[in-house]
Amino acid sequence: MQKVVLVTGANSGIGLALCERLLHEEAGLRLCLACRNMRRAEAARSTLLSSHPKADIDLLHLDVGSVSSVLCAAQEVKSRYVRLDCMYLNAGIMPNPQFDVRAFFKGLFSSNVVKMFATAEGILTQQDSVNEDGLQEVFATNVFGHFLLIRELEPMLCQAGRTSHVVWTSSSNARRSAFSSDDVQHRRGTEPYASSKYAVDLLSLALNRQNNSQGMYSSVICPGLVMTNLTYGILPSFFWTLIMPVMYLIRIFTNTFTLTPYNGAEALHSLFLKKPETLDPRAKYHSLTSGMGRNYTQSHQMDIDEDMSDALYRTMLEMEKDARERLKAGEK
């Protein structure tokens, strides 16, 4: 039976590059591009079909930032497919990023310079807003919508006799100090992105603890710094093009400047080739590119603990309950 792989945020950047790589790896796949913008999704499908004309590529409308859209999309997945082997939770946003030039130059002449380039710690903040469901937009998109999708699809992901794998696109920008168990949506801070990605890391561990016995596994990856619409929101694309030689130079020292979506998708691709039960639930798998342009994946232990991860899981279940009740009340 055909393997089914679903990718969220598949219409551009790392998600689209991943789809290309998956089809190259296994032409017989059934690939489901789960996107909020169907025009861009159609364009992505055409691009993929031009290099893999016989590929089975489906489109699914999914706005991960909207509770009703997630529930609707999950229903559609359940009616379309009899199995779901792998789900890449890749859609993500970083709205209104503010780059702190002063802190950047200070960091440039400190012993933390390599870490600064790898994680952007201390030099990047964002302005978040509240969405139609009353949730913080960054949390809703990067974390909650994907969590809800997993919960809805659990019966498909936890089928007897086979394993399934959910793979989150996290980030090395994820940081414990940006996250608070009392404010999981990061309503009060200025680093919603770092907080949301840390929540992803915690949640992945909790999902493994909850679901491994039923055959469902969860992993997190970091694609490195990649030139995509997300990074073009931080600095304009012409500026990135201008400083590209410097970026290649920095890559020699960090290897985290993967720069192209193809390179950034390395860890996502390499996890596809692994048996999920052989992976470390406490590790983040990083896409890296050497100064000579060689791609490889390296795992690093995450700065997470089980109590915090279980506490977040319980909070998410509460939020899920609330969201469902609110939706029901709104429908009446």
Ligand X SMILES: CC(C)CCC[C@@H](C)[C@H]1CC[C@H]2C3=C(CC[C@]12C)[C@@]1(C)CCC(=O)[C@@H](C)[C@@H]1CC3
Which residues in this chain contact ligand NDP in the complex, by CB under 6 A? Answer: 8-9, 11-15, 35-37, 40, 62-65, 90-93, 141, 169, 171, 222-223, 225-226, 228-231
CA dist list (Å): 91 to 6, 177, 246:
12, 24, 28
Burial class (CB in 10 A: 0-12, 13-18, 19+), 225: buried
| Residues sharing a CB contact under 8 Å with residue 106, sequence separation 6 or more, in sequence order | none
Any catalytic annotation for residue 285?
A: no
Look at residue 65 and give the partner it binds from ligand X, ligand NDP, none, a contact being a CB closer than 5 to 8 Å depending on partner kind.
ligand NDP
Minimum Å distance from CB 150 to ligand X? Answer: 21
- Please give the structure tokens belonging to residue 178: 């940006």
For CA atoms 29, 171, 195, 202, the dihedral sign is positive
- Residue 287 site contact among ligand X, ligand NDP, none (CB < 5 to 8 Å, cut-off depends on kind): none
From the CB of residue 76, how many other CB atoms can be counted at a distance below 10 Å? 16
Select from 64, 120, 265, 302 the one that contacts ligand X (CB under 6 A): 120
At 163, the amino acid letter reads: T
Closest CA to 327 of 148, 174, 175: 148
Contact partner at residue 312 from ligand X, ligand NDP, none, CB < 5 to 8 Å by partner kind: none
When asked if residue 103 is in the footprint of ligand X (CB under 6 A), the reply is no
Contacts of 232 (CB under 8 A, 6+ apart): 240
- Which of ligand X, ligand NDP, none sits in contact with 235, Cβ below 5 to 8 A by type? ligand X
Q: Choose the catalytic residue: 88, 193, 198, 217.
A: 193
**Which residue's CB is nearer to ligand NDP, number 141 or number 164?**
141
Residues serving a catalytic function are 193
Binding site for ligand X (CB under 6 A): 99, 104, 117, 119-120, 123-124, 171-173, 222, 225, 231, 234-235, 243, 246-247, 250
